[in-house]
Chain A
Amino acid sequence: MDTPTDDAAITVRGVVTRFGRQTIHDGLDLTVPRGEILGVVGGSGTGKTVLLRTIIGLQRPAAGSVTLLGQPVSWDGSSTRALAGRFGMLFQDGALFSALTVGQNIQVAMRERGDLPQVLMDELARLKVELVGLPPDACGKYPSQLSGGMRKRAGLARALSLDPEVVFLDEPTAGLDPIGASAFDELILDLRDALGLTVVMVTHDLDSLARICDRIAVLVDKKILTGTMAELARHPHPWIQEYFHGPRARAAFATVRVGGG
């Protein structure tokens, strides 16, 4: 577990993150093998978003190292450029380019490659819109003309625009209706099965965790504990106990086997 292996999509070693005098992560380790769907949970403000930003090279930690798809992350933009198109990120509140239509948002990364014919890019943009379950006319709309849930889907369509190997999803199903949310889960599963996609997904949606995540990473005490749902359900930490055995959890897991839980 300590040496970064070739088949690990993401390796995080000893990451320490501070804002002023507030320490968010304190020697955090995480390994995500290729093809895994990892759910990240933790209370509000425990640094889930900050962790994703650290992994994709947006937030420089005070100490520690990150390897993404075999490339050491350098936090100065160079590793991000080297990995362009191989990972995608769905930001917590969409972060769509407001001056561009949804279709153009999806095409930004494709256009950056510079070698795709416009017809193909248009087809692919419509396809991604269809794929994430947006109505076809959403393609020509501006983000401000969409609802919150639709913006989320548009953000996912953009994250998937180049069929990346790893996607980071920051609360993808928050704000979706339950039917839409489970269709979203199915979509993630299908993409993983077809493409070997690696998914790191911050979520508070217990149903998603139970249905599609292979392992779960819990952010507690500035560190990460990982394990399958069954393993974590037996963990003695009080927050984890509360999380997996609270009333909401019991309802969500009633239909799923929680192993010894």
Chain B
Amino acid sequence: MRQRSDDPMGDTLSMLERDGALYLRLTGRWTLEVARTADRQLREVAERAVPRVVVDASGLAALDSAGAWAIRRTVARLDARGVAVDLTGLPERFHAIFAKVRLPDPSTEVAPPDRNPILALLENCGRAVEHGARVGRALLGFLGFALVNLAGALVNPRRLRVTAIIAQIEATGVNAIPIVGLLCFLVGIVLAYMGALQLERFGATILTVNLVGVSVLREIGILLTAIIVAGRSGSAFAAQIGTMKVNQEVDALETMGLSTMDVLVLPRLIAMMIALPALTVFGDAMGLLGGAVVALFLLDLSVGQFITQLVGAVDIWDFGTGLIKAPVFAVVIALVGCYDGLKVSGSAESVGRYTTQAVVESIFLVIVLNAGFAVAFAELGI
């Protein structure tokens, strides 16, 4: 139906200038193809200095909205410039489409306007800083709100949704056991191996056990576990809640008188506060196991020697300082995930954006808080 002829203009638009008037004859199929090929020519005609233009449309075989638009635009421009235009012979069946093609306001934007790239960079920097400050404040507000609700729910346990909490513990805790275990084990091995290589030069390979014990229990176990969980579950929280926002499920909940906080946020928060410390203990154990494997097979220590050395090297506070951080990180990860999920609005695209944001923000906060803890513990001398 829509062949491209080699010279579409030749048989669709012919022009003749006579007695001071310009005669245009439109023939054949005036579709998008012609609107494109005759575009330049028609724009020239529209600006041409002639007192009178006669358009003969009686030979039109087909007219689509693009073709009709091209004719309409030309006629309107000529008219606006004070040229007398006669449009004659438009076949009856094209009247409707021709009338439909009204002149839209040419000033409305189709795409967002382009901006000066340097100004845009500056502007984006400024916005990012201001945005960061606002997110920080809003997160603090959300933290307070969540903790008040958590306290309320603990006082009035009917508000706790046990099934949801258990499901979330399974998703964030139990299902994360393999990956947390494997990664902590591998990092324990690497740590012990690198430590042994260095300490060997001082003839102090036995201290590898101290190195692994202290760093795994105080830092590596909890930090690695928190980062894995932020990546797995913080993103899942944001994506789940965000999808519910887009589908207006969150609105539906509110409409039925249910509180988003109780239904969506608290189960995730509580589950995370249970799962993350438990995973941390497991991660610590696997990290030490990694160290032990290196000690037994590379350093030729016996199991007894390893245990004696380990017990002498670490005390309960090394374990405790690691574990104290776990509930704090749990709150951060769960709340950032839920907060970003609830921020989603409108399109599916924003689900992706806020999910990414949740992971970045929670890992950032976990590492910053961890540094704060390190300084605080050093000052306290524990």
Say yes or no: B65 contacts A160, CB within 8 Å. Answer: yes
Q: Are B65 and A127 in contact (CB under 8 A)?
A: yes
Taking the closest CB of chain A, its distance from the CB of B24, in whole angstroms, is 19
B118 within 8 A of A: no
Q: Indicate if A139 sits at the interface (CB-CB under 8 A).
A: yes
- Residues of chain A within 8 A of B260, CB atoms compared: none
Contacts of A145 in B (CB 8 A): 346
Of chain B, the residue at the smallest CB distance from A100 is B111
- Interface residue from A103, A104, A123, A137 paired with B106 (Cβ < 8 Å): A123
| Interfacial chain B residues near A99, Cβ < 8 Å | 347, 349
Task: List CB contacts (< 8 Å) of B2-58 with chain A.
Answer: 2, 31-32, 35-36, 39
Decide: B65 and A122 in contact? CB cutoff 8 A. no
Q: Which one of B93-101, B146-154, B312-320 is at the interface? A: B93-101
Give the distance in Å from the alpha carbon of A124 to the alpha carbon of B69 in the complex.
8
Total chain B interface residues with beta-carbon distance under 8 A: 36
The answer to whether A193 touches B109, judged by C-beta atoms less than 8 angstroms apart, is no
Confirm or deny: A130 has a beta carbon within 8 angstroms of a beta carbon on chain B: yes
Q: B65 to A163, Cβ gap below 8 A?
A: yes
Docked Cα-Cα span, A142 to B109, in Å, equals: 12
User: Which of A113-121, A226-234, A236-244 has 4 or more CB atoms under 8 Å from chain B?
Assistant: A113-121
Interface size class of A (residues with CB under 8 A): 35 or more
Q: Does A194 contact B (CB under 8 A)?
A: yes
In the assembled complex, the CB of B246 is this many whole angstroms from the nearest CB of chain A, namely 9
- Closest residue of chain B to A116 (Cβ to Cβ) is B36
Instruction: Give, as a whole number of angstroms, the nearest-CB distance from B6 to chain A.
Output: 15
- Residues of B near any A CB (own CB < 8 A): 1-2, 31-32, 35-36, 39, 62-66, 68-69, 73, 93-94, 96-97, 100-102, 104-106, 108-112, 345-350
Closest 8 CB pairs of A and B: A144-B346, A103-B110, A194-B97, A98-B347, A140-B109, A163-B64, A126-B104, A190-B96
9 interchain pairs, CB-CB under 8 A = A103-B109, A103-B110, A120-B39, A127-B69, A128-B65, A131-B101, A163-B32, A191-B65, A194-B64
Beyond A86-B2, A101-B109, A143-B347, 16 extra complex contacts between A and B, CB < 8 Å:
A86-B1, A103-B109, A103-B110, A104-B110, A116-B36, A123-B104, A124-B69, A127-B101, A127-B104, A128-B65, A131-B65, A140-B112, A145-B346, A160-B65, A190-B96, A195-B64
